[in-house]
């Protein structure tokens, strides 16, 4: 498998990831009949490749060891006729998500810590291939694991100030989260919690606020290591 370019910056690596992901999504959705027919269980070990030019192919794995890039899951064709078609496609999607990440971080091996976090944040804003194939939809403001992106659905922080993500990936889980936090009120306007809105929690008093009420956007939240609400900030100023 040839490499058209060697992306080095966060933006270049994310573009490469996005193009490969687009190709894979097309193979497993709009081109699924063609993909299915190519994965003949009677053939040798086959892999699904997504390329940086947004094309996809089903082919044998690279012969050289180690290969130029991490290899996708091997032998995806063998299980085709032994599983429900939808389940098989979902399984291929899960393995492909892992491969896409491995390729992105192969290119990003020389990125520093903050650049790696930013790359993951960009990637995490996109639905996974599995979510697309399984038709599972995430909430609008999907949180990243950056320290500052503390929203209602990735809840608590650890003692070092980094967010611990408790986000779940299926529709039923989002309903459960809504039920769990439905009685939470904004510390500013008193409005009820909604998963469709960006919320941020104060690290001092642990109250939650609509981002718009405290004038904090998701982008700005990514750069905040410890958020203090207006009330707690005012109290500190008086001491």
- Whether 114 and 151 share a structural domain: no
pLDDT tens for 173-216 read 444 444 445 567 888 887 777 777 888 888 888 888 888 888 88
CA R_g for the chain: 21
Same domain as 158, residue 97 = no
CA 28 – CA 9 distance, rounded (Å): 29
CATH of the domain at 239: 3.30.40.10
**In whole angstroms, what is the distance from residue 170 CA to residue 139 CA?**
10
Assess contact for 164 and 157: CB atoms under 8 A.
yes
- Per-residue pLDDT, 9: 94
Residue 150: what pLDDT? 45
Which of 231, 130, 152, 232 minimizes the C-alpha distance to 197? 152
Strand 199-201 versus strand 56-59 pairing type: unpaired
pLDDT of residue 149: 41
49 and 123 in a single domain? The answer is yes
122 lies in the same domain as 36? yes
Q: What CA–CA distance (Å, rounded) separates 145 from 76?
A: 31
pLDDT band at 4 (very low <50, low <70, confident <90, very high): very low
> Which pLDDT belongs to residue 238?
52
Is residue 115 domain-resident?
A: yes
Which structural domain, as residue segments, surrounds residue 234? 138-239
- Digit-coded pLDDT (tens) for 41-76: 999 999 999 999 999 999 999 888 888 899 999 999
User: Which of the residue ranges 30-39, 160-169, 211-220, 230-239 would you say has the lowest mean pLDDT?
Assistant: 160-169
């Amino acid at each position: 498998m040839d490499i058209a370019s060697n992306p080095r910056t966060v933006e270049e690596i994310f573009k490469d990831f996005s193009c490969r992901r687009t190709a894979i999504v097309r193979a497993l959705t709009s081109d699924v009949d063609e993909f299915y027919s190519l994965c003949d269980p009677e053939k040798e070990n086959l892999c699904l490749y997504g390329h940086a030019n947004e094309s996809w192919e089903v082919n044998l794995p690279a012969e050289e060891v180690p290969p130029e890039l991490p290899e996708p899951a091997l032998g995806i064709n063998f299980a085709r006729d032994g599983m429900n078609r939808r389940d098989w496609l979902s399984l291929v999607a899960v393995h492909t998500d892992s491969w896409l990440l491995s390729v992105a971080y192969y290119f990003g091996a020389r990125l520093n810590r903050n650049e790696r976090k930013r790359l993951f944040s960009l990637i995490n804003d996109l639905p996974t291939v599995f979510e697309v194939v399984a038709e599972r939809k995430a909430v609008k403001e999907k949180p990243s694991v950056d320290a500052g992106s503390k929203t209602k659905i990735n809840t608590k922080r650890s003692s070092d100030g980094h967010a611990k993500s408790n986000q779940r990936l299926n529709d039923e889980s989002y309903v459960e989260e809504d039920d769990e936090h439905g009685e939470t009120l904004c510390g500013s306007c008193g409005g009820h919690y909604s998963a469709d809105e960006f919320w941020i929690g104060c690290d001092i008093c642990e109250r939650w606020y609509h981002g718009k009420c405290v004038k904090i956007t998701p982008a700005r939240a990514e750069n905040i290591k410890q958020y203090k609400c207006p009330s707690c900030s005012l109290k500190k100023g008086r001491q």
